[in-house]
Amino acid sequence: MEFATLSNGLRMPMLGYGVFQIDDATAERCVADALDAGYRLIDTAQGYGNERGVGAAIAQSGVAREDVFLVDKVWISNYGEGKAYDSLKASLELLGTDHIDLMLLHQPFGDYYGAWRDLERACEEGLVRAIGVSNFDPVRLLDLCTFAEVAPMVNQVEIHAFRQQDAAIENMRALGVQPMAWGPFAEGMNNFFQNPLLAEVGAAHGKTVGQTALRFLMDKGVVAIPKTVRRERMAENFDVFDFELTDKDVARIRTLDSADFTCYDHTDTKLIGGLLGFIKSTM
């Protein structure tokens, strides 16, 4: 395994396994399979509704808790000082663990400053080992890094071959924030797995489109958390530590970057307005 070192010195695996859009029971089976396949970073969220299954799988896996890097995220409806802390305690209960390795704020909306102060407190108390954010654009990240007592250590955003986010990554690096990619396969959109250029580059190394895409991200210094419910694909996506992309490969993959393509547009006021309206109605 390759590791990133966070600004507080914590080591984080460069490759992990994500459990978005998987229910509790499926998450329990999938996380058990993923740990068996060798993954040691698991990415869940309060909003995924599967923390119990994730925690049960880790507890029953036979892998020492210390060897698993567990990532969780506070959902927007739990933001606000005091409320985020209580939600984190509830997450620990569901996960059946005494600490979370990395806790993120899932989205940059609502009272994220209040929630951030709770994460700082939880970090100080040892309930979490590192804290960070997700989906923060460069300016919002700069804002939090400037005014928070403890700056975020990680920013998890959409990064993949079709949306390479060079400027955002550069901004993270300048702020000492580790980039982490959600949707490393663009969630399969835009015929990701049939992409001829990725297929050709990968074939020259005896590797698949998915493996090539993950190697590209890790070589950029980006932590990746692919999701699959299939055991054979878990093994395939983990088999990325025995080859190197050439400069020419990287230059070719860089041509796939698109200013237009995104799996989820955080600047779309209609889309985000709908999400926030729904969340407010549940609070």
Ligand X SMILES: NC(=O)c1ccc[n+]([C@@H]2O[C@H](COP(=O)([O-])OP(=O)(O)OC[C@H]3O[C@@H](n4cnc5c(N)ncnc54)[C@H](OP(=O)(O)O)[C@@H]3O)[C@@H](O)[C@H]2O)c1
Annotated active-site residue in 48, 79, 85, 112? 48
Between 80 and 226, CB nearer to ligand X: 226
Smallest distance, ligand X to C-beta of residue 45, A: 7
Smallest distance, ligand X to C-beta of residue 182, A: 3
Smallest distance, ligand X to C-beta of residue 200, A: 17
Between 22 and 248, CB nearer to ligand X: 22
Between 152 and 183, CB nearer to ligand X: 183
Smallest distance, ligand X to C-beta of residue 239, A: 10
Residues in contact with ligand X by the rule CB under 6 A: 18-20, 43, 106, 134-135, 156, 182-188, 193, 210, 225-230, 233, 236-237
Alpha-carbon distance of 132 to 107, in angstroms, equals 11
Alpha-carbon distance of 192 to 76, in angstroms, equals 30
Between 5 and 191, CB nearer to ligand X: 191
Does residue 85 have an active-site annotation?
no
Q: Which residues are catalytic?
A: 48
